[in-house]
Amino acid sequence: MCKIEPMLKELLSLYDSCKLECDGLTRVLHTVLSQEGIEHSCLIGSLVLIESHKGSPLHFWIVLPDGSYIDYRARMWLGDRADVPHGIFNPVDYPKVAYSGSSMELDILSPSLFAVLTA
C-alpha cells in the first residue's frame, strides 16, 4: 500500500463532497496530485460488480505507482456497500469489483475551473 496514504487521504478526501461524477473528480484529483508532485496515472475504462454485471461502461480513476487505486465514485455506480471500494485502496481487497481500462492524458485544470468544480 502507498507509504504516503495517510497524507493522501487527508489531502484528497476534501474533494469527496464535491458534486462531481468520476470524470470531473478525477480531473480535480489529478490537478491536486500534480501540483503536489505525486506520481500517478489517470485511467479511463469500465467498472463492474462481477456478481450482478452492474456497473459503468465509462469510468475514470487514478492509479498510483504502487498499484493502489484512487476512486471516490465507484459506490455511485455500484451501490454504497462495504465490498465496493471508496477512496484510496488496493484493488486486490475488492475481488467482486472489476476495473478494466487504459491510461489517458489529462490537462491540469486552470485555477478558475478548479474553483468552479470544487465550490
Asked whether 85 and 49 are in contact (CB, 8 A), the reply is no
Residues 6+ apart with CB under 8 A from 91: 67, 69, 85, 97, 99
Average pLDDT over the chain reads 94
Upper half-sphere CA count for residue 64 (Cβ side, 13 Å): 21
- For the chain, the structural domain boundaries read 5-110
pLDDT per residue as tens digits for the range 11-38 = 999 999 999 999 999 999 999 999 999 9
pLDDT for res 4: 58
